[in-house]
Amino acid sequence: QVQLVESGGGVVQPGRSLRLSCAASGFTFSSYDMNWVRQALGKGPEWVAVILNDGSVKYYAESVKGRFTISRDNSKNTLYLQMSSLRAEDTAVYYCARRVWGDYFGMDVWGQGTPVIVSS
Amino acid sequence: QSVLTQPPSASGTPGQSVTISCSGSRSNIGSNTVNWYQQLPGTAPKLLIYGYSQRPSGVPARFSASKSGTSASLAINGLQSEDEAYYYCAAWDDSLNGGMFGGGTKLTVL
């Protein structure tokens, strides 16, 4: 079945780096644009970044621009989020999500999320 | 503060209809389609509406959406207890070149 599984979350000190992965299965990964969305405890979702299906274009939220890098390996059906210079306010559950083909921003398949805690 | 503005709460009784509003601007709702998500505690958001008020497979027809100018709304007809959840609107913003979520509306089924 169509599935996204995130991994790589954990506890990290401020200023350090962490890389998240999202393994896709059950669909043609290389045909879909992919997003990262995060959600802090008790808050609403916050969009983080998007990468087009071929990796040619990437957009980032202002809050992470210059610190986070989204990438993908279509041969491995895997999406990544490299996070550096982490701050306490980056603490959240991070979800990868598939963008609906042809839609501006709709995301129809989500992973279960991986928690990131930035704390000393 | 979210770029897309939603009321923090809404409520209704079983069988009733309820509408949740979402206000934005020309660069987001005014220019692009609006998505609606439902989120139950401890789970990822679930897409309810995409495109021009389309529903993914499995989403009941009780959920519908509309848009006018820079505002959008989600209507839930025949309210059921399992509809109690948080609802978020979302849209791409052409000025910011980024995706935006509303602050969320907590729907209580009385």
Which letter does DSSP use for residue A13 in this model? -
Name the pLDDT band for B1 (thresholds 50, 70, 90).
low
By Cβ distance, the residue of B35, B56, B104 closest to A105 is B35
Q: CB of B36 within 8 A of CB of B88?
A: yes
Residues B6 and A17: their CA atoms lie apart, in Å, by 34
Length of chain A: 120
pLDDT for position B52 = 85
Residue with tokens 């509306």: B105
Across the range A7-23, mean pLDDT stands at 98
Cβ–Cβ contact B24 with A under 8 A: no
pLDDT for position A97 = 98
Cβ–Cβ gap A110/B45 under 8 Å:
yes
pLDDT for position B3 = 85
pLDDT tens-digit readout, B72-110: 999 999 999 999 999 999 999 999 999 999 999 999 999
For the record, the structure tokens of A84 come out as: 């550096």
**The pLDDT of residue A4 is above 90:** yes
**The pLDDT of residue A81 is above 80:** yes
Q: Which residues of A43-60 are buried (b: 16+ CB within 10 A; e: fewer)?
A: ebbbbbbbbebeeeeebb
**The pLDDT of residue A12 is above 70:** yes
**The pLDDT of residue B29 is above 90:** yes
Which letter does DSSP use for residue B59 in this model? -
Across the range A45-54, mean pLDDT stands at 97
**The pLDDT of residue A21 is above 90:** yes
**The pLDDT of residue B2 is above 80:** no
The shortest C-alpha distance from B11 to chain A (Å) reads 19
Residues A52 and A102: their CA atoms lie apart, in Å, by 12
| Chain A residues closer than 8 Å to B90 by CB | 45, 47, 105-106
By Cβ distance, the residue of B56, B96, B103 closest to A108 is B56
The shortest C-alpha distance from B50 to chain A (Å) reads 6
Among B78, B30, B36, B76, smallest CA distance to B53 is for: B36
Cβ–Cβ gap B51/A45 under 8 Å:
no
**The pLDDT of residue A68 is above 90:** yes
Helix (H) or strand (E) holding A61: none
Residues B34 and A86: their CA atoms lie apart, in Å, by 31
By Cβ distance, the residue of B46, B97, B102 closest to A59 is B97
**The pLDDT of residue B17 is above 70:** yes
Name the pLDDT band for A79 (thresholds 50, 70, 90).
very high
